[in-house]
Structures are given as C-alpha cells and as structure tokens.
C-alpha cells in the first residue's frame, strides 16, 4: 500500500502556483493532471539554460572557445543519457532526434529489408509505435487480456510461429492510456531466445520509474530505447534514440550538413556514428535542458518519484471507486503501473467532462484516444460495426475517455479537489451537460 509522502517536490517545478480564470470569474491556482502529454519545466532546468546561454555557440568544427565548449557539452551529454538508462556505449549509440516519433521512424527505416520481415507490436501502442512499420513490414499485434495488459503467451506463440523472422518486437514501456507497465526485460529475454530484437517506447516510463537497459542477465538487455525530454520536465523538446551501432550500416534517412567527412560530386564518405545520424545543426539548448532534467530526476530519485505518484494514483482510485456514475478502464491495481487513470462520467461525453473540469475548476486533463485508438476501442468494447459506421460517417462523435496523469509535483489536496468537483458534476449532471454541450 502506498502512503502519502511529504517530499517538497512542488518547489522544484515552474508555474505550479499560476492563477488562471474560471467560468465564475474567479482566479484559481491551476491544477495540471495532463503530465502524460507534456510536463512543466523544472526550475533547475530553466536556471541551467540561462546559465549556459552566454556560452551558446555552434558545435563541431568551430575553433572559437564558445564553440569548443558547446561541442564538449553536447558530446558529453551522451554519456549522461547512457548512465541514466544504463546503456552500454561500447555496443550502442545515443542519437538525438526531434522526438520519440522521429526516433521510431528512424529505426523503422534502418531495419527495413525484405517485405516478408515481421514486426510484432501490440494493441496498446501509441500510433507512433505502430504506423511507422506498416508500409515496410508485416505487422502483427499482441493480444490483450481483459484488464488491458499484454498477453505474453500470445507473444511467445507469435515468435515461435515465425521461427526467427521477427525483425523487432516494439513495445511501450508504460501505456499512455492506462499507465500499465510492461515487463520489458522479461519480454526482451523472450525476444532474444527467438533471435529478435526489442524496442521499448519509453516516453511514458522514463520520467516516472527506474529503467535499466543492461540488467545483470544479458539476455534481458534492451536493444532500442526511445523517449522525449518534453515529458521529463525539460522544454526545448528533443528526442533520444539509444540503439545498437550495428543497425546503422546504410546511409542515414536524413543527410546533409554534419553527416559527412568528405564529399565530391561523385563520392561521399559518411561520418562516424552518431554524427551521421544527426543531420543539420543540432538542438544544443534542448540537450542542455535534457541533461539538466536527468540530473534533477537522478538527484530526487526515480524510486521516490514513483512512490509519490503512485500514492496519488491509489488515493484517486480509492475515491473514484466510491463515486456512483464513474467508469474506470483497464487494470486498477496499483502494481506495475505509472500514475495514469482513464475514466468517464456516465452520461457525459468525454470532451464535455474535460471542458467542465477546466472551466469550473481550473483542472487540466486530456480527453479522447491519446493517439492510441485501437487500445481505446478495446477498452471501450467498441465493435467492428461501430468503427465501420464512423469510417463511413466522420460526423459521428469520436469515442474516448478522460485521462488523469500525475506528475511528481501534484498533491493529494489537488486530487481531493478533483474528487469534490466530480461529485458536484454528477449531482448536477443535467445542468452541466446543457451548459457545456455547445
């Protein structure tokens, strides 16, 4: 059982006491339960950006002092990232991209070979860990159990069926819809026994839970890891791809400045890794923000962060379960998860619920399908017929849920305020529905 902690995480984060207007004309302290989309920045990260700004310069090949310093900071950052996730830089490389989506697309393009190659994804993935593979591979999807968790037996059967032809198993570390954490290291062992590699989409997991790419048992190592800084309390978004060096045998999918050592009209000598995969001027400020956020997350401790966020999650689950008229989705057990809760108010569409919470209480949530439509369809038990009807008639309302996603700076008092407002909304359901339906 998780208990309330008194760590002063709130002081670490910028903007947590910002006052915003609500429908009554009052100004209230904003409550952000939309951290799965983007987190506010750490104060420390902003301070480090400002501290570095006078030294900001071009990197690689510049001879000026500022350029040399900027280049050193940029290259040293890769070791900071590798240490944070325990990546082995003798066999892997750290590549900077715009975001997690670009990282996955890069992997898909480099792995593409025979059209008969198989990618196994799952029915709980963000679209970014599904769509990039579809035009290049045969894609299969791991089944889910009735709680929305992966059916590991189904994955094992699929790996056995294809007899070593599975190029990659692409799995989310934690679902952006339900928060459920997948047993990625044991899945990695299963993949490696079948001569396959594993990619973990760590966007929802890395800021909230300890992660180890190179555990003691080498068969459990993670081959590919992708994540984004904008979910890690760092602005100036940048994405990270940690990947085996052996994968990058062909020229990059994006070429140009920074990717070459020598060029004539008839010849190109490509740069060494990771430079040849980072075309153009890199996002140096984004790297400074990322490494500063990593330093702060490491200083606070991901185990402490996870314990605090899960205490909020357990408290919210307990209170929501006591309210008639609330539907919860997925496994509600406080085990193997990050602090995300999907729900709906019975009789009120998800978009209207989100609007009411914002306009009446200054509470930010997200609603919809969160770029994971097949998973939402499964959780809401939407039939194939319903989906076909929506394809034929785009004007039909989109299904979806309301998502609460907690960050380290959220408090039990904020959750209590949410619960109080939800009870008020349900008690006056018809009034609020009429008020906000248009």
Q: Which residues are catalytic?
A: 371
Q: With contact defined as beta carbons under 8 Å apart, do 282 and 98 qualify?
A: no
From 400, 403, 367, 368, select the one nearest 382 (Cα to Cα): 400
**What HEC string does the chain produce?**
CCCCCCCCHHHHECCCCCEEECCCCCEEECEECECCCCCCCEHHHHHHHHHHHHHCCCCCCCCCHHHHHHHHHHHHHHHHHHHHHCCCCCCEEEEEECCHHHHHHHHHHHHCCCCCCEEEEECCCCHHHCHHHHCCCEEEEECECCCCCECHHHHHHHHHHHCCCEEEEEEECECCCCCEECCHHHHHHHHHHCCCEEEEECCCCCCCCCCCCCCCCHHHCCCEEEEEHHHCCCCCCCEEEEEEHHHCCCCCCCCCCCCEEEECCCCEEECCCCHHHCCCCCCHHHHHHHHHHHHHHHHHCHHHHHHHHHHHHHHHHHHHHCCCCEEECCCCCCCCECCEEEEEECCCCHHHHHHHHHHHHCEECEEECCCCHHHHHHHCCCCHHHHHHHHHCCCCCCCCEEEEECCCCCCHHHHHHHHHHHHHHHHCHHHHHHHHCC
Q: With contact defined as beta carbons under 8 Å apart, do 16 and 39 qualify?
A: no
């Amino acid at each position: 059982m998780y208990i309330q902690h008194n760590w002063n995480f709130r002081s670490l984060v910028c903007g947590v006491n910002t006052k915003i207007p609500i429908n009554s004309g009052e100004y209230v302290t904003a409550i952000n339960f939309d951290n799965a989309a983007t987190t506010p920045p750490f104060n420390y990260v902003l301070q480090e950006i400002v501290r570095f700004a006078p030294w900001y310069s071009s990197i690689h090949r510049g001879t000026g002092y500022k350029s040399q310093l900027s280049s050193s900071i940029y290259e040293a950052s890769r070791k900071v990232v590798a240490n944070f996730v325990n990546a082995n830089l003798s066999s892997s490389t750290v590549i900077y991209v715009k975001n997690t989506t670009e990282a996955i697309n890069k992997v898909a393009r480099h792995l593409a070979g025979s059209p008969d190659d198989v990618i196994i994804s799952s029915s709980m993935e963000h679209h970014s860990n599904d769509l990039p593979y579809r035009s290049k591979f045969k894609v299969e999807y791991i089944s889910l159990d009735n709680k929305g968790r992966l059916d590991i037996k189904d994955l094992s059967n699929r790996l056995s069926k294809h007899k070593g032809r599975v190029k990659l198993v692409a799995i989310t570390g934690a679902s952006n819809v339900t928060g459920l954490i997948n047993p990625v290291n044991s899945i990695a062992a299963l993949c490696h026994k079948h001569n396959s590699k594993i990619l973990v989409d760590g966007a929802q997991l890395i800021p909230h839970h300890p992660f180890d790419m190179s555990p003691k048992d080498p068969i459990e190592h993670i081959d590919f890891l992708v994540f984004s800084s904008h979910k890690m309390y760092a602005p100036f978004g940048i994405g990270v791809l940690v990947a085996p060096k052996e994968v990058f045998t062909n020229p990059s999918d994006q070429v140009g400045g920074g990717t070459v050592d020598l060029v004539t009209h008839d010849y190109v000598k490509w740069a060494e890794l990771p430079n040849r995969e980072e075309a153009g001027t890199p996002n140096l400020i984004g790297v400074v923000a990322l490494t500063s956020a990593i330093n702060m997350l490491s200083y606070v401790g991901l185990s402490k962060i996870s314990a605090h966020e899960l205490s909020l999650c357990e408290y919210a689950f307990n209170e929501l379960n006591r309210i008639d008229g609330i539907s919860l989705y997925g496994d509600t057990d406080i085990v193997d998860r990050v602090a995300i809760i999907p729900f709906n108010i019975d009789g009120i569409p998800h978009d209207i619920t989100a609007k009411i919470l914002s306009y009446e209480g200054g509470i930010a949530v997200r609603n919809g399908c969160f770029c994971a439509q097949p998973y939402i369809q499964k959780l809401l038990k939407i039939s194939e017929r319903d989906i076909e009807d929506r394809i034929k008639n785009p004007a039909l309302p989109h299904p979806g849920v309301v998502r609460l996603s907690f960050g380290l700076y959220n408090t039990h008092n904020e959750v209590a305020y949410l619960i109080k407002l939800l009870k008020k909304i349900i008690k006056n359901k018809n009034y609020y529905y009429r008020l906000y339906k248009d």
